[in-house]
Structure 1
Amino acid sequence: MNIETPHDSGPQGIPAATIIIFRNAPSGGAPEVLMTVRSRNMSFAGGMAVFPGGRVDPEDFALAEQVAADHGLSPDEAAHQIAAVRETIEETGLALGLAGTIDAERAAAARAMLAEIGALAPVLQAFDWRLDLAQITPFARWFPKNENIPRVYDTRFYLADLGTGAVDVSIDHAENTQLFWTSAQGALDAAERGEIKLIFPTRRNLERLALFSSFAEARAQAEAIPVKTIMPQIVEQDGKPWLTILADAGYPVTGELLETVARG
């Protein structure tokens, strides 16, 4: 096995946050997660099925400086969790990671305000909400800096639970074209049938999520395995290049033939 000399696309990636939202399946069985299909004209992962999320904005870092200590977090980690909360409202209309009087009407109004001003702090003040970041569990961190791709994100993944899931979600139509609930295995099966497309990190995360029969199981594993930064490497196996990840980060599948990998 020979490790390919990494192509370093830069010392830092674009900071980003993604949230994996669970709900109990209406008909029972494996829990469902919320996924979105990105607009084909997006420069990153256009046309791909992904979890809601996006880059961490300067306003997220500014708010984090004010509140990080209250949540026992570093400002950097708090900024990523704040971005996950903000992106969830923007892309799905769901208000997670927040406390206060929250209902569908207020969530919709907050989403409209957020679309207009682009920062979470004024929304919290206007609706008398406060951050409740204990609702969010760190799950993974992916930074494909060794891959030859045009835009490299350093993305932290989080888990959150919607419980019964009896809440309407709606697409933002700006960056995404579809929102849908699916079990993790259901998403993998849909990809095999060609109904959706998955980039490498999303596929690996779905395989990991398919291990769990409940949100509680997923959170327990996430809390038991320290988050390590996953930087996929190209290695040669049996004369063919494979894209591989860490073997001790909780993932049941740690490699894929490079020729079959879909990238952002």
Structure 2
Amino acid sequence: MTEALPPAIPAATLVIFRGADLLMVERAKAMAFAGGALVFPGGRVDPGDHALAALLGRDDDETAARIAAIRETIEEAGLPIGLSPIPSPHAFERLRAALHAGRAFGEALTEAGTALDLDALEYFARWRPAHAHARIFDTRFYLARLPADAPAARVDATENVRLLWATAAHILAETDAGRATIIFPTRRNLERLAPFADFEAAVADARAHPVRTVTPWTEQRDGVEHLCIPDDLGYPVTSEPMSDAVRG
């Protein structure tokens, strides 16, 4: 009989491309989850995301996750990903301020004269760890392209303390040199994205590998305990010694 997984918090995140560069945000060290680590912008799927999905006639987990990824990216990084049309700079600032003040996303979108473009996001991966931890997230990862007329990204300075644009290979190199920290799922996704020169190449890879939920497991390999993932989902590295793995 399959062992039941512990409860998980639904979440969503955006991998945003600007040419070959990806947007990363550094979590505040005081945060309970991934404190001090570089992550892609994103966060929890809230009840309001499901409420907005219902208003769109698509009240399902996938739609709510896309809405959450767009909303969280606006809040955390100040980028209008998944909006059509792109609001004026003033209207977008009011939209972001409304979200920070706790306003309903749908109302804020209407006031900004824009609407959601959920098809701007490409479903890339889903990770749902099962280790004993205070918080386990069931996270959907989406790919998106930075709009040509997007404003400069700006960190929210609450959950996150800085942001940077860099290639996946550069982020991995900085981590290996001890100048950055990334958790296990982020490392595996950066390794998968590193070969791609742009958004289109990454989308082609995503479409070539149907999404299946990744739940890492541990096993002994050559006498060393490893944290492992499936080998048929497009990831070039599928295990890492537990002594090296950084978990949220």
Q: TM > 0.5 between the two?
A: yes
Q: Report the counterpart of residue 213 of structure 1 in structure 2.
A: 197
Q: Report the counterpart of residue 87 of structure 1 in structure 2.
A: 72
Give the Cα separation in 2 of the matches to 1:152 and 1:40: 18
Matched letter for residue 54 of structure 1: G
Structure 2 vs 1, CA of residues 206 and 68 (structure 1 numbering), >3 Å: closer, same or farther? Answer: farther
Which structure 2 residue ranges, 5 or more long, are not aligned? none
Contact 1:141–1:228 at 8 Å: present in 2 too? yes
Give the Cα separation in 2 of the matches to 1:174 and 1:9: 31
State the Cα RMSD in Å: 1.7
Matched letter for residue 63 of structure 1: L
TM-score, scaled to structure 2: 0.95
**Percent of aligned pairs with the same residue?**
45
Give the Cα separation in 2 of the matches to 1:249 and 1:109: 40
How many positions carry a matched residue from both structures? 247
Write out per-residue CA displacement over residues 62-90 of structure 1, whole angstroms, 9 at most, x where no aligned residue.
11112154xxxx62110000000100100
Structure 2 vs 1, CA of residues 166 and 65 (structure 1 numbering), >3 Å: closer, same or farther? Answer: closer
Give the Cα separation in 2 of the matches to 1:101 and 1:184: 27
1:127 CA displacement: 1.3
Give the Cα separation in 2 of the matches to 1:93 and 1:234: 38
Q: Report the counterpart of residue 123 of structure 2 in structure 1.
A: 138
Matching residue within 167, 177, 186 for 2:170 = 186
Give the Cα separation in 2 of the matches to 1:189 and 1:68: 44
Give the Cα separation in 1 of the matches to 2:64 and 2:92: 21
> For residues 166-185 of structure 1, what are the structure 2 equivalents within 5 Å?
167-185=151-169
Q: Report the counterpart of residue 55 of structure 2 in structure 1.
A: 66
Matched, 1:20 2:3: no
Q: Report the counterpart of residue 208 of structure 2 in structure 1.
A: 224
Contact 2:122–2:143 at 8 Å: present in 1 too? yes
> Is the partner of 1:207 in helix, strand or coil?
helix
Contact 2:81–2:147 at 8 Å: present in 1 too? no
Give the Cα separation in 2 of the matches to 1:99 and 1:257: 44
1:59 CA displacement: 0.3
Matching residue within 221, 225, 250 for 2:234 = 250
Give the Cα separation in 2 of the matches to 1:226 and 1:46: 31
Give the Cα separation in 2 of the matches to 1:103 and 1:234: 49
Which structure 1 residue ranges, 5 or more long, are not aligned? 1-5, 25-30
> Is the partner of 1:241 in helix, strand or coil?
strand
1:101 CA displacement: 4.6
Matched, 1:261 2:245: yes
1:167 CA displacement: 3.3
Matched letter for residue 75 of structure 2: E
Q: Report the counterpart of residue 133 of structure 2 in structure 1.
A: 149
1:150 CA displacement: 2.0
Q: Report the counterpart of residue 107 of structure 1 in structure 2.
A: 92
Q: Report the counterpart of residue 240 of structure 1 in structure 2.
A: 224
Give the Cα separation in 2 of the matches to 1:149 and 1:118: 31
Matching residue within 17, 41, 44 for 2:30 = 41
Detail structure 1 runs of 4+ shifted over 4 Å in the superposition. 6-9, 163-166
> Is the partner of 2:101 in helix, strand or coil?
helix
Structure 2 vs 1, CA of residues 40 and 121 (structure 1 numbering), >3 Å: closer, same or farther? Answer: same
Give the Cα separation in 2 of the matches to 1:77 and 1:103: 29
Contact 1:23–1:165 at 8 Å: present in 2 too? no
Contact 1:93–1:169 at 8 Å: present in 2 too? yes
Give the Cα separation in 1 of the matches to 2:202 and 2:82: 17
TM-score, scaled to structure 1: 0.89
> Is the partner of 1:187 in helix, strand or coil?
helix
Contact 1:68–1:78 at 8 Å: present in 2 too? no
